[in-house]
Structure 1
Amino acid sequence: MKKALMIAAAAAFAMGAMAASADASALGKCKACHNLDSADKKVGPGLKGIAGGKQGALEGFKYGSYLKAQNAAGGVWDDAALEAWVCGSKDVAKAAGGKSKMPNQKVCGDDAKAAVAELKAL
């Protein structure tokens, strides 16, 4: 009986470690509000294919004034724009005189670069 309990405990520990490593993705915070598997929206627009795409362009989504203006101006989600956005979307929008519906995620520096790399791989 002890052996069976030890095996079960070890299996549970291993499964917990695998789940934790899966959530260690640079896009971990994004998954709460964004669909990563498609362009379908959740609370926010889906992120599959967003990298390199036009800002504020997903049909049927109500963007804040900043992304509406970026869309009209032909703004593109390049690496720099994505890194700045995941670090401080409200700060980026405010600096340009606009507003963002997305809260600042504070995924900055190397973490932002890792998030952008994952977005490009979606």
Structure 2
Amino acid sequence: MLRTPLKFALLAGFGLSLAGALYAPPATARTQVAVGVSIGVPPPPPRYERVPGPRRGYVWAPGYWRWNAPAHRHVWVGGYWVRMRPGYHYRPAHWVRHGHDWRFRRGYWGR
């Protein structure tokens, strides 16, 4: 039978090992982060959206088609407001043709 201090030391060591394995340091700030999805099905034409009037301190991000893998189809994501970043320009989400595939690019802030 293990004594209490030994149990505590083993438990603490296991906890520290687990925490070290699960820890991911924060990413450094970058202007652009590219996350993409590549599929062989082209997105439908964009839907018409009535853009609301200007909102101080925000930029309108237009809607886009998102790929829903379990349903094997595109799903419309309506436009939304994004807080403005001084000195940056918002680049909306969009699909890009790449050979026979289509790649999705998320919206991001660029210089």
Q: TM-score range by the shorter chain?
A: 0.3 to 0.5
In terms of fraction of residues, the more helix-rich structure is: 1
Q: Which protein, 1 or 2, shows the higher relative CO under an 8 Å CA cutoff with sep ≥ 6?
A: 2
> Which has more radius of gyration?
2
